[in-house]
Structure 1
Amino acid sequence: MPFTSDLIDEMNVLVKFSLSSELTGIKVHSDADPLLVAATERLYDKKLVTAKDGGYLTSIGRDAVEHAKEALRILKSNH
């Protein structure tokens, strides 16, 4: 299954989260890019974040961020 533009938008939201602390979240304001707002709402619907506007990562959301950041690191490497 290829990445859709919606999935890419969701991945871009996920990589904005810091994994250094479970108390670090994000807030996507309603006047932000509509694609970013919609992606964040989808992540909430998928139970990866705690609020429609971001909030904190759930347990599965934290796993998704770890994998997304690792994939990004691999794809950006110069192997």
Structure 2
Amino acid sequence: MPFTPDLVDELNMLVKFTLSSDMAGLKVHSDASPSLIEATQRLYQKGLVTDYDGGYLTSIGRDAVEHAKEALRILNSVPQQKTGS
């Protein structure tokens, strides 16, 4: 299944969260972009954040952030050169 624009928006929202503290949350204000607001509301409906406008990560939300950040790290790494055939 490919990434849809909605999923990309959700992933972009997730990677804004810090994993250094469980007490660090995010609040999406009403003047944010509609796509960010909608992505945050979907994350709430999916149980990844505690409030419709962000809040804190749930346990599964924290797992999702860890995986999303790891995927970004891998995809942004310098490609290795192939050796031999």
TM-score w.r.t. the length of structure 2 is: 0.92
- What number of residue pairs does the alignment pair up? 79
Equivalences for residues 51-66 of structure 1 within 5 A = 51-66=51-66
Point out the structure with max Rg over C-alpha.
2
Give the number of the structure whose residues are more often helix, by fraction. Answer: 1
RMSD: 0.4
Give the match for residue 23 of structure 1. Answer: 23
For 1:69 and 1:37, locate their aligned partners in 2 and report how far apart those are by CA, in whole Å.
21
TM-score w.r.t. the length of structure 1 is: 0.99
Equivalences for residues 1-79 of structure 1 within 5 A = 1-79=1-79
Which 4+ runs in 1 deviate beyond 3 A? Answer: none
Unaligned runs of 5+ in 1: none
Question: Helix, strand or coil for the counterpart of 2:50?
Answer: strand
For 1:40 and 1:69, locate their aligned partners in 2 and report how far apart those are by CA, in whole Å.
17
